Structure 1
Amino acid sequence: MNTKEFKEKINEKLNDEIQKKNLTKFYEDYPKARQKAFEGYDFEQLRNSVKNIKQNTVDKLEELADKFQKAVEKNGAVFYRAVSDKDVVDYILKLCKEKDVKLVVKSKSMLSEEVELAQHFKEAGIESQETDLGEWIIQIAKHKPSHMVMPAIHLNRQQVADYFEKQLGKNMKPDIEFLVHTARAELREKFLKADLGISGCNIAAAENGAMFILTNEGNGRLTSSLPKTHIVLVGYEKLVESFEDAIPILRILPRNATAQTLTSYVNIILGPSQAIVEHTDGTFSIEKKELHVILVDHGRIEMARDPIFKELYQCIRCSACTNVCPVYALVGGHVFGNIYTGGIGALLNAFIGSSQTANQIQNLCITCGSCTQVCSGSIDIPNLIIEMRKKNIEKEGLPTIPKVVFQNIMSNRSLFHNMLKLARLGQKSFKNGQFIRNLPLYFSKYTKDRSLPAIADVPFRDIFDTILQKPAKNQEKIAFFSGCLIDFVYPETGEAVVKSLNALGFSVEFPKDQTCCGTPMYLTGDKESAKKVAMQNLEALESIDPDYIVVACPTGVEMWEKYPQFFKDDPKYLQLAQKYKNRIREYSSFVDEQLNKQNIKLNSLKNNGIATYHDSCHLKRVLGIHTQPRDIIAKAFNTNFVEMEHADQCCGMAGSYSLKFPEISKELGDQKHKSIIKSTANLVYVGCPACMLQIKGLIDKKGGNVKVMHIAQLVNEALKENK
């Protein structure tokens, strides 16, 4: 679909109240249920085991495929390797013709969805019946799966009852137990009459050809044992070397997928099943049924050979990443996905689906990092999304506007800063105090649901020299890297950083030649522009050669830590990048360390009211900084600190994301605003200037007697009497 149609689809799903209710409830309930399911297990140890097992699969892919084939054939099954989706379909249709197949029963298989098997059966005049309850529901509804594990999660019980009623021609009450019982009764006859059964496979052990099928309804067992012929579809990524390798996957998959300790049925297939056959003369015999195993490539071998994207082999299709994705919870899998959903879906589709679809849906990833915390295979999905964007830009180039902004303006420090000064003058007719509350015409959508900050009258770089610093007690020299927002929008935060660090005994310098850290370019995939600004920043810091570089923005810290990857072929800048990477310090964690190290007590700010804290996505999930800001706030506010609900849920800013998808940003912002108001706090502290921009704008537009400040402002205030 084109961009306009895609936007319309997003708005349609944002207004789908039934889907929103279903997804929101699951999104909110899942984390606690999952935590309970993993009680007594070391999740990190489990997923490291899965990661190592699947990395071994990639390293030995062809060898394991050959071993698997030999074992399967030795076990008495027919083995076939399919290169393309067409190969899969052609093989199955040919077999159906040979066996005069009229009815196929199919257990849940994402691979069969991937190759559009149901559509091909329909075109060939073969009846195919989904036997997984969720899959049967969407088959009746003529929908695509909206989730990899729970394909009908977007529908409620009344909608399901309506679809059943239409399909079966009898009254259906919207009672879950009744609907499940009805499905069992209807499907039982299909199992008994079916000529062919088709199933997917969760794990395939190369050493002995064992194929594991995990289900909750028993349909996998019936599909594989009742029909005379059974086909198992196996993707290359399902291979593991040994039978024992299946154990960590069996332990983590149900817990991560649906917060169950174990799926109801674990079927292990080692060869064709046997059946007792009654003959016309009244005698009986035992006959082996026919088993066909299709090992499917369809882009998987290319994925395994890619030095970056082979990491996708670590995915076991548990869908935990989707379960915690704030964007998926808003728009669902029919927008954010195509068979495979969420960020992982965008990446998988790039190889085994539609690259055009992948390119479109990957933009929905807000790179909040929630997925990385729960991934069964430790896949860094946000980083792979960025790598995908880089790959697309290398192939197709940047769109005109980002190209001009990144390559001609932001990469040129002098021009960029002059443009910001011009923008400051141009905003006068729209500025109202510290905010721009209404923009005209096309731009009105950007101020509809939040106010935007006005560019400061005087940037921090012009204020720095006026800040009086006391002589340093500590010998270490600090350079403050401000980033664009603190420099040009929130100079008062920059002042608080410098004054508080000086109060802790440090002399602070501000290299004037510093510029944008490069995050906007990097997240878009423009590696070359990010590299240009990285070079400028390294040169600016080298002129001072500080012991520490303190950054009060988590994405700035993250970006500095990525600088070495830009200069693998440039020894000079690589050396500088590695040197300063080791000297980067995030502000709140550095301050907390110094307060404890120097045994400095903060003055009480309890009289200021009640404080709460919002976790920046990148501060908590990428940098792992979570307790330190709270430790600082607790020292100043004591019992007057309260936790807001969903403190670590994305606020919806995410840089340019809020401009690309203002409708999604608005929904996430609304949720954050509700959490803040519900907390009853009158002070919200943040560790990220971008989050401060979003939350300040929300409070100004939506109301609430709440002041939003960077944690540096708290520290500066609480250290004043100690100066």
Structure 2
Amino acid sequence: MSHQQSNEEFKNSIQKALKDQVMRSALGRFAEAYPISRKAAYTGVDIEQLRTEIACAKARDGENLDELIKQFTQEATKRGAVVYYAKTGDDANRYIVDLAKKRGVKSVVKSKSMASEEIHLNKHLEAAGIKAYETDLGEWILQIAGQRPSHMVMPAIHLSKEQVATYFSNTLSRDIPPDIPFMVDTARKELRDKFLQADMGITGANMAVAQTGSIGLVTNEGNARLTTTLPPIHVALVGLEKLIADLGEAANIIKALPKSATGQIITSYVTFVTGVTPTEVDNQERPKELHIVLMDNGRRQMLDDPEFKEAWQCIRCASCLNVCPSYQLVGGHVYGHIYAGGIGTILTYFFNDHDDAAKPQNLCLGCGKCVEVCPGKIPIPDLILRIRRRLAEEKGLGTIPKTILHRVVANRKLMHSLLRIASKTQFVVSGGQPFIRHLPFFFSELTEGRSLPTIAEQPFRDWAKEHEKSNSGRGKKRVNFYGGCLIDFTYPRIGKAVYDVLESVGCEIYFPWEQACCGAPAKYLGDADTMIRLAKQNIEALEEGNPDYIVSACPTCTLALRDDFVDVLKDDPAWADRAKALAAKVRDFSDLAHSLGVDVSKAKNNGDKTFTYHDSCHYKRHLHLSEVPRELLTQVPGMQLVEMKDSDECCGMAGSYMVKFPEISAPILEKKINNIQATKADMICVDCPGCIMQIGGGLDSHQSKIEIKHTAEVLAEALRKK
């Protein structure tokens, strides 16, 4: 039964997870080791080619699902298996329990199966008087601990060896030392009799091959082979998404799954079960029973939904969890149901209930790290945003977000007036300093580990208006500058630097006065209506003067202008073409500066200075421009690049994320600050004002002397020294 968590319950679960130092240490160690292991495992493999082949094949399998079900059923049946199609989880439970009752099954051994966790199969077996024993080491640990998996591949990753030893000792009524080889040997001895005595073995499947009617299992322990061979009855519970066309596709999945899941070249066991095999019962040989339950349970609905069909391409490797900044801090149990992480939220939305995904979907930072490593090339953050939008349509935004977005953000004049007023009244909290270091009452968490910037005394638009009066008609190319809220009202210095740099290569730059918020806050809260209103308002503003280019110095804004406006207006005949025409002119600042030939190599060298570079999430993983600013910056005489560790990991800003989840944002920022300071660089350069706000606030909070500057600022300063 669905139970939608209250905000208080959800926040409490996050706080509990953040205080679990054992879990955080375990996840932290794995997160450190995983990228190295994965890279080594993929040595000599064309990763992108493999990912493309898997994604295309899985998409094709989805399109041909009914044919694959028919072919698989025919091939498996003619080899002696019984194939049952279960529409729901209850249907699958009923079939398996009824089968067990008819055969007089008293005990069942199970190998790891997330599908069985999904439908709570063990509880249904227990209710029927049938004892189910998990035989995967991690699953057995969780079974005796009374817990759920926290990871799709490594279910007990959140536990320490000391905790496991305690569970072993309590269950076995004897002292078990926290020695891993000893505990593994103990588990093996305890479970061996269970295999020999079991009347039924239940497995999941990593693949179900329609070509041969085979079940494919990719495992690291021998328990799955014992489960499929020793008991007289084998039941395989298979989600429909595991159906694939042929053994060639299976080979690709086998090649990618262990490398992506745990950084192994290949797992210890790759097993294919094709049809029934002889087995011995009461000293007599007879054919083994093989029952294959093909389970839907919301999968077809996900596949048939044009906005979510890409989720079908998941091969359940959990690589997305392995690189997720939020998951690394809070683990899997915070997600509330069986599947964790971004992909888990999507699966929960379809396999459980929409309400069950309402809170977990907020944990996504939208950093896109998961997309880089996903073997199925699933755009997980985009799918999360679609869930967010649908939930907003179904449940509403809530009074406060709705008021802010509809009445303030969507109203340019009101929003800008409020910001101007705030710039005059902020002295109370800033003390006249450029940073707000402490906030009172329930706002205090926002300034833990970071300071907040103050609003500029003069908005950039006011400066631009005066500047353009004296520079009109001097350029060969007309450029309309989209400043965005942060540059306009917090960092005018970045906007001024953009003008300096582009004017140096003959551009005539204008700041269209009616430009408003790019709509990112509305997008990330699921408010499509406000996004549409802002898209139309900005298109009208930025078309002014028919510019050659429209430039932004914020990657989030660049994406909004280039991609989001086109997306939200695609079904509006009056606006779709205008959005596309605008998008064709949109350029990121550094990219445009580079392509127009900005040259700072002749600038005066005022002394060597080391710098490191932070790749903002949108800049690297959506605009794919991470090398461009590095090339520009290293042209500056005396500037020496020192790469930081994990330069492309999220800083924890993520728009409103730092407001919604300051307790998660802060430790993500702390890690980034530590990596920056470890370089001992004089400066950190960034191409995102949001990251400048977050990282700059973190450096100020740490009383660091490291400067933080936008690439435009560094280039503008160099040009002044020519």
Please tell me whether residue 239 in structure 1 is matched to residue 243 in structure 2: yes
Deviation by residue 1:479-501 (Cα, 9 ceiling, x = unmatched): 11110000001011111111111
| Local SS of the residue matching 1:572 | coil
Question: Equivalent residue for 1:8?
Answer: 12
Distance 2:604 2:8 in 1: 53
1:706 to partner: Cα distance:
1.5
Distance 2:719 2:41 in 1: 44
| Local SS of the residue matching 2:607 | helix
Question: Equivalent residue for 2:521?
Answer: 520
Question: Equivalent residue for 1:611?
Answer: 611
Letter in 2 for 1:5: E
Deviation by residue 1:508-551 (Cα, 9 ceiling, x = unmatched): 11111111111110111111101111111110111221111111
Deviation by residue 1:267-307 (Cα, 9 ceiling, x = unmatched): 1111122124564xxxxx53111111101011111111101
1:681-692 alignment, distance < 5 Å: 681-692=681-692
1:448 to partner: Cα distance:
3.0
1:226 to partner: Cα distance:
0.3
1:207 to partner: Cα distance:
2.4
Distance 2:24 2:599 in 1: 49
Please tell me whether residue 704 in structure 1 is matched to residue 704 in structure 2: yes
Question: Equivalent residue for 2:263?
Answer: 259
Of the candidates 577, 580, 589, which is equivalent to residue 578 of structure 1? 580
Please tell me whether residue 350 in structure 1 is matched to residue 349 in structure 2: yes
Question: Equivalent residue for 1:282?
Answer: none
1:600 to partner: Cα distance:
5.3
| Local SS of the residue matching 1:458 | coil
Distance 2:376 2:306 in 1: 17
Question: Equivalent residue for 1:359?
Answer: 358
For the Cα contact (< 8 Å) 1:611–1:637, is it kept in 2? no
CA spacing shift, 1:153–1:311, aligned 2, 3 Å: same
Please tell me whether residue 224 in structure 1 is matched to residue 228 in structure 2: yes
Of the candidates 237, 247, 254, which is equivalent to residue 250 of structure 1? 254
| Local SS of the residue matching 1:569 | coil
Distance 1:277 1:291 in 2: 15
1:354 to partner: Cα distance:
3.5
Distance 2:337 2:24 in 1: 19
Question: Equivalent residue for 1:556?
Answer: 557
Question: Equivalent residue for 2:297?
Answer: 298
Deviation by residue 1:71-117 (Cα, 9 ceiling, x = unmatched): 22111111111111111111111111111111100000000000001
Distance 2:302 2:711 in 1: 43
CA spacing shift, 1:472–1:180, aligned 2, 3 Å: farther
Distance 1:637 1:105 in 2: 68
Letter in 2 for 1:118: N
Question: Equivalent residue for 1:492?
Answer: 493
Of the candidates 568, 593, 598, which is equivalent to residue 595 of structure 2? 593
CA spacing shift, 1:119–1:276, aligned 2, 3 Å: closer
CA spacing shift, 1:348–1:90, aligned 2, 3 Å: same
The share of aligned pairs that are identical, in percent, is 44
Of the candidates 206, 209, 217, which is equivalent to residue 205 of structure 1? 209
For the Cα contact (< 8 Å) 1:606–1:636, is it kept in 2? no
Distance 2:537 2:355 in 1: 35
For the Cα contact (< 8 Å) 2:232–2:281, is it kept in 1? no
| Local SS of the residue matching 2:33 | helix
Distance 2:373 2:720 in 1: 42
Distance 2:606 2:251 in 1: 53
CA spacing shift, 1:41–1:474, aligned 2, 3 Å: farther
Please tell me whether residue 439 in structure 1 is matched to residue 443 in structure 2: no
Distance 2:638 2:122 in 1: 61
Distance 1:639 1:674 in 2: 22
| Local SS of the residue matching 1:640 | strand
CA spacing shift, 1:80–1:18, aligned 2, 3 Å: same
Distance 1:617 1:708 in 2: 17
Question: Equivalent residue for 2:323?
Answer: 324
Please tell me whether residue 376 in structure 1 is matched to residue 375 in structure 2: yes
For the Cα contact (< 8 Å) 1:328–1:336, is it kept in 2? no
For the Cα contact (< 8 Å) 2:484–2:518, is it kept in 1? yes
CA spacing shift, 1:608–1:660, aligned 2, 3 Å: farther
Mean CA deviation greater in 61-70 or 510-519: 61-70
For the Cα contact (< 8 Å) 1:254–1:318, is it kept in 2? yes
The number of residues matched between the two structures is 715
For the Cα contact (< 8 Å) 1:472–1:505, is it kept in 2? no
1:45-194 alignment, distance < 5 Å: 45-194=49-198
1:689 to partner: Cα distance:
0.3
Distance 1:185 1:437 in 2: 58
1:244 to partner: Cα distance:
2.1
For the Cα contact (< 8 Å) 2:475–2:503, is it kept in 1? no
Distance 1:599 1:706 in 2: 26
Question: Equivalent residue for 1:649?
Answer: 649
Please tell me whether residue 385 in structure 1 is matched to residue 384 in structure 2: yes
Distance 1:413 1:164 in 2: 62
CA spacing shift, 1:639–1:375, aligned 2, 3 Å: same
Letter in 1 for 2:243: L
Unaligned runs of 5+ in 1: 280-284
Distance 2:618 2:337 in 1: 27
Distance 1:401 1:278 in 2: 70
Distance 1:508 1:558 in 2: 20
Letter in 2 for 1:678: A
| Local SS of the residue matching 1:643 | coil
Letter in 2 for 1:21: S
Distance 1:269 1:492 in 2: 66
Distance 1:67 1:382 in 2: 34
| Local SS of the residue matching 1:233 | strand
For the Cα contact (< 8 Å) 1:233–1:296, is it kept in 2? yes
1:568 to partner: Cα distance:
2.2
1:607 to partner: Cα distance:
2.3
CA spacing shift, 1:234–1:693, aligned 2, 3 Å: same
1:389-538 alignment, distance < 5 Å: 389-432=388-431, 433-467=433-467, 475-538=476-539
For the Cα contact (< 8 Å) 1:210–1:243, is it kept in 2? no
| Local SS of the residue matching 2:634 | helix
For the Cα contact (< 8 Å) 2:482–2:515, is it kept in 1? yes
Distance 1:553 1:639 in 2: 23
For the Cα contact (< 8 Å) 1:610–1:637, is it kept in 2? no
Distance 1:641 1:214 in 2: 44
Distance 1:675 1:499 in 2: 31
Unaligned runs of 5+ in 2: none
Deviation by residue 1:110-158 (Cα, 9 ceiling, x = unmatched): 0000000112222222211111111111111111001000000001111
Structure 1 length-normalised TM = 0.96
Distance 2:371 2:475 in 1: 38
Question: Equivalent residue for 2:334?
Answer: 335
Distance 1:278 1:154 in 2: 43
Deviation by residue 1:384-434 (Cα, 9 ceiling, x = unmatched): 000111111121221111111111111111111112112223322112321
Question: Equivalent residue for 2:568?
Answer: 566
Question: Displaced runs of 4+ in structure 1, greater than 6 A?
Answer: 468-474
For the Cα contact (< 8 Å) 1:470–1:502, is it kept in 2? no
Mean CA deviation greater in 197-206 or 407-416: 407-416
Distance 2:84 2:571 in 1: 44
Deviation by residue 1:281-337 (Cα, 9 ceiling, x = unmatched): xxxx53111111101011111111101111110000000000000110000001135
Question: Equivalent residue for 2:547?
Answer: 546
Letter in 2 for 1:618: H
Deviation by residue 1:662-714 (Cα, 9 ceiling, x = unmatched): 10011111111111222112211111000001111112222211211111100
